[in-house]
Amino acid sequence: ARPLVIAVDGPSGSGKSSVSREVARRLGLEYLDTGAMYRAATWSVVEAGIDLADAAAVAEHVRNLDLTMATDPTAPGVRVAGHDVSAAIRETRISSIVSKVATNLDVRAEMLKRQRDLITAGRNGTHQGCVAEGRDITTVVAPDADVRLLLTASEEARLARRAKELHGSADAASVEATRDQIVRRDSDDSTVSNFEVAADGVMHLDSSALDFEQTVDAVLAAITRIV
Ligand code: C5P
């Protein structure tokens, strides 16, 4: 059978990463976390001591980046020059500046190329297909995907989920500590891609009232209807 491409976009805290990963696992597909690529690029730029305001230097560094994505949904990961950075790229010091790197248009052009290569590896018979997840997958990276889905959730729901992830609790103080980070990052990111409204032909699933399992089931049901 032809390799399947499933594109999932959404804002932070929408559950797109954990849901996409589980959907890929259940369907026996690869899982590509494109946010991890931007995070790894940011980690490397910082590590190299490059001034984030120097757009040309940042872009040049990213074009030469030795980046390896592990796309097995049971063991996803990211390496820079052979060094496992999967944990380091989740640190707040990276989350708080990743939008600066990701809004560099030359960085995006480089990532677009690499993401398409990783996704279409399946079309050369290397894998069964791929669930690719990010902000611009349904619109820019893989507009021709078999299934395109925008996964959203209310700001309230997204903040509560992130607060639980980051602080182990969704009490008022944890939600407030999360708000600045998440809301500001989404607003910075939205200058380059629109992941709040589904583009033409993109399915929209609001997971505000759904738990993880229900969201996975809803996505699987939608995929079954289409392919
Ligand atoms: O999904 P995650 O929160 O890990 O993404 C980290 C950052 O990577 C986002 O805040 C955004 O700046 C950038 N990103 C992007 N395009 C994508 C995926 C992520 O610009 N397709």
pLDDT the model gives residue 126:
63
Nearest CA to ligand 1 atom 20: 102
How many whole angstroms separate alpha carbon 169 and alpha carbon 187?
24
The tens digit of pLDDT for each residue in 17-62 reads 999 999 999 999 999 999 999 999 999 999 999 999 999 999 999 9
The pocket around ligand 1, CB under 6 angstroms, is made up of 12, 34-35, 38-39, 98-99, 102, 134-137, 185, 189
**CA-to-CA dists, residue 73 to 39, 76, 101, angstroms:** 18, 5, 26
pLDDT (tens digit per residue) in 131-158: 999 999 999 999 999 999 999 999 999 9
pLDDT in tens, 57-102: 999 999 999 999 999 999 999 999 999 999 999 999 999 999 999 9
Residue 148, domain extent:
4-226
Tell which atom from ligand 1 comes closest to the C-alpha of 16: 1
* Mean pLDDT along residues 166-193: 87
- Spatial distance between the Cα atoms of 18 and 32, rounded to a whole number of angstroms: 12
What CATH number corresponds to the domain at position 120? Answer: 3.40.50.300
Instruction: Evaluate if residue 224 carries a pLDDT over 70.
Output: yes
The structure's pTM equals 0.95
Query: Whole-angstrom Cα distance, residue 8 to residue 140?
Result: 12
DSSP class of residue 141 equals I
On the CB side of 56, CA atoms within 13 Å amount to: 0
